[in-house]
Amino acid sequence: MIQPTIGSGGTHCPYCAMQCAMDLVVEDGRLATAARDFPTNRGGLCRKGWTAAEPLSSSVRLLTPLMRDSRGAPLRPASWDEALDAVAAAFRAAREKGGPDAVGVFGGGALSNEKAYMLGKFARVGLGTRNIDYNGRFCMASGAAAGNRALGMDRGLPFPMTDLPGAGAILIVGSNPAETLPVIVQYLEEQRRHGGQLIVADPRRTATAQMATLHLQLTPGTDAALALGLLHVALRDNLVDRAFIEARTTGFGAARRIANAYWPERVERITGVPIAQLVQAAHMLGEASTAMVLTGRGPEQQSHGVENAHAFINLALALGKVGRPNCGWGTLTGQGNGQGGREHGQKADQLPGYRSLANPEHRAAVAAVWGVDPDTLPPPGPSAQELLESCGSPDGVRALLVMGCNLLVAAPQTERLRARLEALDVLVVCDPFLSETAATADIVLPVAQWVEESGTVTNLEGRVLLRHCLSPPPEGVRSDAQVLKALAERLGRGAYFTADHRELFEELRRASAGGLADYAGITWERIEAEQGVFWPCPSEEHPGTPRPFLDAFATPDGRARFFAVEHRPTAEEPGPGYPMFLTTGRVLGHYNSGTQTRRVAALNAGDPEPFVEIHPDVARSLGISEGGMARITTRRGEAVLRARLTRAIRFDTLFVPFHWGGRGGANLLTNPALDPTSRIPEFKACAARIEPA
Ligand code: SF4
């Protein structure tokens, strides 16, 4: 028997950036999810969504704070007052030793807009530290930087996902939405049914690549060369839209000169993509009356991730397929609030509304809302990886608060990170579960899950959505906002903060007013009545902006910018001792670091353990058999994983999903080499060897 839960109104999935609409119901005495019809998911959920209620009543859920009496002592239950007092005392002690920057804050792209906003304000006003960043730096930073520079605005999809079926051709590069955003596949299927062409560029023949008209199985790390080769063919074969370039862009000449040097034979040598496929793809995109180019973490999580994204933006601009109906470049956000989470101030260099912490006018505008002197706001701080690298060093972060992130699974080179975290004076983790990171913490604070509090999130197309509180948190659990408010009070800054999510959103609206990500006109009532509102939305009379670039780009002169970028090799190329590429990604059954999904029985049954994909011919030559254990070694560490032999992967490439910690953790192996602009680590390509374990 299915009954509604005590709350009213619906919610949205706690996992990916589709943010499918759902209800929470009681089915045979247990909480369960039910799909809700909505313009985005149209009544669909994937297996993660169908099982999303299970972690709410998990038997391993944390219901009381935990703390250690000394380093190395076991975690023991504590009262909230004892734990919060200890956190505040540790933060004060760290500040006495190293000043305000000795306390660091690390957030997450799954936090609601209200919590992301509050965390940024807590760092700048509550702690006065410049050391705050979040796991979106590991995810969306390259696409965001390229979008901001080329188009003037970082809106992951600058069009509603319902526009996808109207595109005559779609190129997806380094993204596997069939597993990472499964419900979006209905739009790709519709596009194919309408006669559209789908091109997928990926080193693996993924579930998405299997849907495609054309699969370009490129060598890892050669994305920019592929884009330049496509542009070269488009120029050669008169597929570019010169009128569009003239009217709406700048900088084409320099980009064209570089593309001229990427003739098909050269691009085939670099990428491994046959010339015939390169030419076919360029013609599909160029000859379609409408087309989209969508990049994912494949090209973006590289030490040249921003340039890679620019190369594909250049291609879309040259074809005149941006800023027009059913056209555009977009970047497919993965995390649940990956879009909103990067708009309101938990990034190292950013203030609410996508304002810059380095801009005096932006600082003054936000400081006025916060009621503080702008000069008291700290300057921009280091990026996520650099912040983590500083942990435990005399001049670095001595005390770290982690909220909404499982670093010891999600960050690169996790064993080195573990040593850095152990060198801290205190590590504080807010989490509903004893994640790998929480298990190493000195103090663990049990916090509410998604449906236990109201708040907004912004999906991958920039639509702001409202989640209602439908089930109260269990006794002993508090919201992240209550934790921050309580800490601010103990640090003498409580008057600046509210823990009420509705009040936080009203404050966020004011703080974002006039910024790029302007939420001033968005109210919870409007979100409810209009099934979400697209930002920017500067006033309550404004309809919202589903397609921001139709008339002009968000740059000062309204024109999109070409960036003259070259192909550059990844920081590590295969060679002696490490002859293969290792790349990482996700599987259908799990979300990010798996903190929730690895605790769902049905999901674990489908994807119970980490694995390595390897081509059978390569495996045979090395004595590795299907289901046997294999050891992968990189310059940073080794992992032991079960081998899956598949002809869907290139001969020179290994693939490991990153949802697990322990001996099978993909991020034991990954390279922390950073992109110079976005500071994203190079998760997507490093040199590795494999042997039987
Ligand atoms: Fe929808 Fe993503 Fe949740 Fe699946 S995981 S139900 S696609 S929001």
Quote the ipTM score: 1.00
Is the distance from the beta carbon of residue 15 to the nearest atom of ligand 1 less than 6 Å? Answer: yes
- Of 23-27, 383-387, 616-620, the poorest mean pLDDT is in 23-27
Using pLDDT thresholds of 50, 70 and 90, give the confidence band for residue 333: confident
| Cβ(689)–Cβ(580) below 8 Å | yes
Question: Which SS3 state, helix, strand or coil, does residue 504 take?
Answer: helix
Q: Which of 40, 41, 179, 183 to mutate to test the pocket of ligand 1 (most atoms within 8 A of CB)?
A: 183
pLDDT on residue 3 = 56
DSSP string, 305-357: HHHHHHHHHHHHHHTT-SSSTT-EEEE---STTTTGGGTSS-STTEETTTEET
User: What confidence tens digit (pLDDT) does each residue in 141-175 have?
Assistant: 999 999 999 999 999 999 999 999 999 999 999 99
Whether the full predicted model's pTM is greater than 0.90, yes or no, is: yes
Rounded Cα–Cα distance for residues 629 and 612 (Å): 9
Q: In sequence order, what are the beta bridge partners of 32?
A: 25
Q: Which residues contact 495 (CB under 8 A, 6 or more apart)?
A: none
Q: How far is the CA of 48 from the centre of ligand 1 (A)?
A: 6
| Cβ(481)–Cβ(319) below 8 Å | no
pLDDT higher than threshold 60 for residue 592: yes
pLDDT higher than threshold 90 for residue 6: no
Nearest to 455 by CA among 493, 515, 447: 447
Question: Looking at ligand 1, which atom is closest to the CA of residue 52?
Answer: 3
Using pLDDT thresholds of 50, 70 and 90, give the confidence band for residue 239: very high
Q: How far is the CA of 479 from the centre of ligand 1 (A)?
A: 23
What is the average pLDDT across 572-593? 96
pLDDT on residue 202 = 98
Degrees, nearest 5: CA angle 125-80-123: 15
pLDDT higher than threshold 60 for residue 1: no
Pairing of strands 463-467, 455-458: antiparallel
What is the average pLDDT across 574-588? 97
Question: Looking at ligand 1, which atom is closest to the CA of residue 182?
Answer: 7
pLDDT on residue 27 = 87
Q: How far is the CA of 615 from the centre of ligand 1 (A)?
A: 30
pLDDT higher than threshold 80 for residue 30: yes
Question: Looking at ligand 1, which atom is closest to the CA of residue 181?
Answer: 7
Instruction: Respond yes or no on whether the N-terminal peptide bond of residue 657 is cis (omega within 30° of 0).
Output: no
Burial annotation 133-159 (CB, 10 A radius, 16+ → b, else e): bbbbbbbbbbbbbbbbbbbbbbbbbbb
pLDDT higher than threshold 80 for residue 8: no
Is the distance from the beta carbon of residue 45 to the nearest atom of ligand 1 less than 6 Å? Answer: yes
Q: How far is the CA of 348 from the centre of ligand 1 (A)?
A: 28
Pairing of strands 197-201, 214-216: parallel
Of 539 and 6, the one with more pLDDT: 539
Q: At what angle do helices 360-370 and 501-512 cross, to 10 degrees?
A: 150
Structural domains for the chain: 2-57 (2.20.25.90), 66-139+337-534 (3.40.50.740), 141-332 (3.40.228.10), 580-692 (2.40.40.20)
pLDDT higher than threshold 90 for residue 122: yes
Atom 2 of ligand 1 has which residue's CA nearest to it? Answer: 16
User: What confidence tens digit (pLDDT) does each residue in 482-535 have?
Assistant: 999 999 999 999 999 999 999 999 999 999 999 999 999 999 999 999 999 999
The Cα-based distances of 678 to 67, 138, 348, 383, 453 in angstroms read 36, 9, 11, 9, 32
User: What confidence tens digit (pLDDT) does each residue in 200-236 have?
Assistant: 999 999 999 999 999 999 999 999 999 999 999 999 9
Percentage of the chain surpassing pLDDT 70?
A: 99
Using pLDDT thresholds of 50, 70 and 90, give the confidence band for residue 5: low
What is the average pLDDT across 50-62? 96
pLDDT higher than threshold 60 for residue 2: no
What phi and psi values does residue 298 have, to the nearest 5 degrees?
A: -55, -65
Mean pLDDT (the chain) is: 96
pLDDT higher than threshold 70 for residue 381: yes
